[in-house]
Amino acid sequence: MEDLFGGNIEEKEDSSRFFADVIIPVPIPKMFTYKIPKNFRDEIGIGFRVIVQFGKKKVLTGVIAKVHQKPPAAYEAKPILDLLDNHATVNPLQIRFWAWMAEYYCCNIGDVMNAALPSGLKLSSESKIQVNPTFDQDTSPYPLDDREETLLQALANKGELSYEDCESVLGIKSIHPIIKSLVIKEAILVFEQVKEKYSPKVESRIRLSKAFFTDKKKLEKLFHELSSKPKQEEVLLKYLQEVPVYRQPELNSRGLEKSVFSEAGLSASSLKTLIKNGVLEEYKLIISRFQEAAPSKEEITLSEYQEKALVKIKEELQEKNTLLLHGITGSGKTEIYITLIKEALASGSQVLMLLPEIALTTHMVGRLRQVFGSSMGVYHSKYSDNERVEVWNGVLSGKLSFVLGVRSSIFLPFDSLGLVIVDEEHESSFKQFDPAPRFQARDAAIMLAWLHQAKTILGSATPSFESFYNARTQKYGYVALDRRYGEAQLPEYILSDILVDKKKNLLKLDFTRLLRESIQEALKNQEQVLIFQNRRGYSPYISCEDCGWIPECEHCDVSLTYHQFNEEMRCHYCGFKEKVPKTCPACGSNKLSAVGLGTERIEESLSLLFPEARVARMDLDTTRSKFGYQRLLEEFGSGNVDILVGTQMITKGLDFDRVTVVGVMDADRILFFPDFRAGERAFQQITQVAGRAGRREKKGKVIIQTRKPEQQIFHQIIQGDYKNFYLQEMGDRQRFFYPPFVKIIKIVTRHKDYKVAERAARNLHHLMEDIPVKKILLGPEKGLIGKIKNQFIFETIAKLDKSGNAPAQFKQAINELINELQSHKDFRSVRFLIDVDPY
């Protein structure tokens, strides 16, 4: 940088130069050393955010990992351009955690930083800027200078500006100090992608106009006039009844939510007239997600069994750091967590509770909010970036000592965790597949807890085999809770043979007679039904009855899924879509038929079979909008829906009173999936969805449709015989070298040219054979899906001996091999991905 920081003067002071190692959010496997300008030297420290130049033009936010006096040997250190904080935004424990994650999951610490920090905390030349909707210049305590005002004006006109736009608006080169200042003044928000743009929730409210509010006489006169207009009078009376402004004048400024009037059945046009005549006024209030909510007083009393489990948990945690709470569906694990969280908070520790994305419902949030009020933060991926920044800062300032969140909440700036809870720990969505870091949030949470010397509780009705294995080998503590709370009993299971019904002509629209009759019965009793099929869309594919042609994605090696709703064929891997062909492009036949079962088709069949029932569907396609999932749950909860069809979204955590029948449409599909965990997953998914039935007095019924009812797994599910199922599967895993007996690392090679991808994968494979650790290498093989988004995919699977440091050695070696290969000109554009524990 020119002489922004008085470069000339610094030259003379060589001996007192200081340097900082900075983590920057780029996929490069190291930190960069920058020079600390003299004017920052006393203020800067580990975990502070700084603005640095990277490459020729880029400006990035980095985080300081280390301050020292050693200049880099290979390059001339550039100066840090600016300091964004006057305190650490990231604490040293987090930096250790990031470093651990980068090493364990074979990625760059910059990738971890990128995943960890919300984009609002990462100002860069790629950032976009918007006005903070809650900013009000008239009431803001911070005056703006001319340039800031110009920029704000431009933002107000344009809606958003890129970093470069900001530079050209003001005609200057280094825009970051101005942006930084506006962020501090809370006038603007920084974001990364357009979809993140923050629009706050606004509520329309009504209050009494000043003239009437301050002058009682005037109001009396008004009532006199309104006596001939009873509807308007009614509206005004309602307001004064809800907001007694004469007894408590301070209440008027907040007024009353507008919807209160319509909900009370009062005339909307009268309200409008009163506003027009200046009696009432309407204003907009921005609703924060972080409303002050006071905990409610209500105390929970644990049942005898819950109490026993609690005592045992505490006992076990005296010795063990991690504990598996194996409590059947509906056993009341949540209430046990609540008691433990309360105790941890009372002792001054922080608490983190992780839930899978789709289990983080209003219901769960509401339940915990009742107990913990606004000292609890909620961290959800559907929240805007700005809301995530608020939670981050809440944890940093100590305002939020308890966070309930999805997998990314492990990155929040906790500094004294005492307890970490991972609920539904078996859930596969704790694993992040793309992009790097490809971490398993449950495993990472255990590491995080260890760094804090905190305890971890893993909870599930159907534990993952890894966790159960760790419990059986005494690495984890173990507490079982095998009784449902209250009077509720486990449901009755019935296997329904699809082939038998088919032969007898009893199969109608893919429903066996038993399932149809059970649904009918439930409907008659005004009970609710869940139908589970883990496949969205109408049908997995369509096919020509004459020549067998199947439409495929142009960019991926998969067939297109038929979505009847908008008459489209869609690729579930890259989003490619096209209209459904009228005739077969291969042979011209017009006999194209839908093959297989998706949720859309089941929804349609249900409407045909039960025309009087209200049917709804819950899958990725119906829950894309921010509140889509929530709305469906509310509809179902309030009884507006009789039958809910869904993918694995309906298997998690739902706790509704009136569900008595659960149908599993096609259990074989889950069971015969080509993956070593198919059995484990089938056990988990079927048990979990079954667990939604009969959670109150009335016993539930679960009907499993299958073509192979003799399969042993079904009988183990029915008997709740997790242990024997586990033992049997573990025998196979040991014989065929699968986790938890070995460590698996998957190495993926991708390139747009098939030959190049294959050759690179082969080369790497050969090189890996020479890594001197005990291992089995499988591959390289075309991926299960051979091409995604025009990139051909080859995979090698390494199975490593878990003992000793074989995995660590292997990881280090592959990183080096990949670097070596990539320096070869043929392979420069090949992408190699390493996925540690890829399941």
Annotated binding-site ranges: 544, 547, 553, 556, 571, 574, 584, 587
Residue 334 contact, options ligand ATP, Zn ion, none, Cβ 5-8 Å cut-off depending on partner type: ligand ATP
Among 99, 144, 302, 586, binds ligand ATP (CB under 6 A): 302
Q: Would you list which residues are annotated within the binding site for Zn(2+)?
A: 544, 547, 553, 556, 571, 574, 584, 587
Min dist. Cβ of residue 791 to Zn ion (A):
11
Distance CA 230, CA 533 (A): 56
Shortest separation between residue 327's beta carbon and ligand ATP, angstroms? 5
Q: Name 474's Cβ contacts closer than 8 Å, sequence gap at least 6.
A: none
Find the binder of Zn ion among 100, 213, 573, 737 (CB under 5 A). 573
Q: Does the protein bind Zn ion through residue 553 (CB under 5 A)? A: yes
Indicate which of Zn ion, ligand ATP, none lies near residue 303 (CB less than 5 to 8 Å, by partner kind): ligand ATP
Task: For ligand ATP, give the closer residue by CB, 219 or 461.
Answer: 461
Q: Does residue 719 come out as left (phi exceeding 0), alpha (psi in the -120 to 50 range) or beta?
A: alpha
Residue 494 in contact with ligand ATP, rule: CB under 6 A:
no
Which residue is listed with tokens 């307890």? 419
Q: Which residue has the tokens 């495993």?
A: 443
Q: Which is nearer to ligand ATP, 404 or 609 (CB)?
A: 404
As a whole number of angstroms, the distance between CA 412 and CA 436 comes to 18
**Amino acid identity, residue 409?**
S
Among 556, 689, 717, 793, which residue sits at the site for Zn ion (rule: CB under 5 A)? 556
Position among 555, 669, 708, 782 found at the interface with Zn ion (CB under 5 A): 555
CB of 701 to ligand ATP, least distance (A): 17
C-alpha to C-alpha distance for 683 and 316, rounded to whole angstroms:
27
Q: Which value, in Å, is the radius of gyration of the alpha carbons in the chain?
A: 30
Judged by CB under 6 A, which stretch of 301-309, 437-445, 556-564, 741-749 contacts ligand ATP? 301-309
691 binds ligand ATP (CB under 6 A): yes
Residue selected from 154, 251, 275, 300 as contacting ligand ATP according to rule CB under 6 A:
300
From candidates 26, 93, 574, 613, binder to Zn ion by CB under 5 A: 574
What's the Cα-to-Cα distance from 670 to each of 602, 645, 664, 687, 716, rounded to whole Å?
A: 17, 16, 10, 13, 16
User: Which of 749, 831, 792 lies closest to 555 in space, CA to CA?
Assistant: 792
Residue nearest to ligand ATP (CB): 332
Element (H, E) at 189: strand 188-191
Q: Does 467 bind ligand ATP (CB under 6 A)?
A: no
Q: Closer to ligand ATP at the Cβ: 163 or 478?
A: 478
Q: Decide: is 653 part of the binding site for ligand ATP (CB under 6 A).
A: yes
Number of C-beta neighbours around residue 819 at 10 A = 11
Tell me: does residue 685 bind ligand ATP (CB under 6 A).
Answer: no
Residue 576 as a binder of Zn ion (CB under 5 A): the answer is yes
How many Å apart are CA 319 and CA 758, to the nearest integer? 50
Please identify, using beta-carbon distances, which residue of 79 and 330 lies nearer to ligand ATP: 330
By CB under 6 A, tell whether 365 contacts ligand ATP. no
Decide which of Zn ion, ligand ATP, none touches 331; Cβ closer than 5 to 8 Å per partner kind. Answer: ligand ATP
Q: How far apart are CA 185 and CA 672, in angstroms?
A: 58
Size of the site for ligand ATP (CB under 6 A): 18
DSSP secondary structure of 200-268: -EEEEEEEE-HHHHH-HHHHHHHHHHHTT-HHHHHHHHHHHHHS-TTT-GGGTTT-EETHHHHHTT--H
Contact flag: residue 356 with ligand ATP (CB under 6 A): no
Q: Does 793 bind Zn ion (CB under 5 A)?
A: no
Q: Which of 130, 322, 329, 763 binds ligand ATP (CB under 6 A)?
A: 329
Tokens representing 516 are 């149809």
Among residues 196, 335, 642, 835, the one that binds ligand ATP under rule CB under 6 A? 335
Query: What SS3 string covers 277-327?
Result: CCCEEEEEEEECCCCCCCCCCCCCCCCHHHHHHHHHHHHHHHHCCEEEEEE
Q: Which residues bind ligand ATP (CB under 6 A)?
A: 300-303, 306, 327, 329-335, 461, 485, 653, 655, 691
